[in-house]
């Protein structure tokens, strides 16, 4: 047998494996749906809390806690976005 006939299936298999990894990488990239679901979930949990305990609306500490929760959530989102940008940059560097 010719060497090219032996190496061709190996090269095809390696390309398919690499393509599968690239597709998986693209699927794991964050999108707007995750952010929307996270925000809606947080708002729904706040609404449930107010519905279960209506007296919490009149407590000033609840507003401080609400501001802190949104602040931590915004910071978490910013850090997540930064980490994903770094991963994308690393992927581009490795791709070249």
Residue with tokens 């994903």: 84
pTM, two decimal places = 0.56
What are the pLDDT digits (tens) for 34-49? 778 888 888 898 889 8
Average pLDDT of span 21-30: 78
* 80's tokens: 């997540």
* 83's tokens: 């980490």
What are the pLDDT digits (tens) for 58-94? 888 888 888 888 888 888 888 888 888 888 888 888 8
d(CA 19, CA 27): 12
């Amino acid at each position: 047998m010719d060497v090219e006939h032996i190496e061709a299936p190996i090269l095809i298999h390696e390309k398919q494996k690499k393509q599968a990894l690239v597709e998986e990488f693209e699927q794991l990239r964050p999108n707007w749906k995750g952010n929307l679901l996270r925000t809606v979930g947080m708002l729904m949990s706040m609404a449930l809390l107010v519905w279960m305990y209506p007296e919490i609306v009149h407590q000033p500490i609840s507003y401080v806690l609400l501001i802190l929760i949104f602040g931590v959530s915004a910071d978490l989102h910013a850090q997540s976005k930064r980490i994903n940008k770094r991963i994308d940059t690393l992927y581009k560097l490795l791709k070249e």
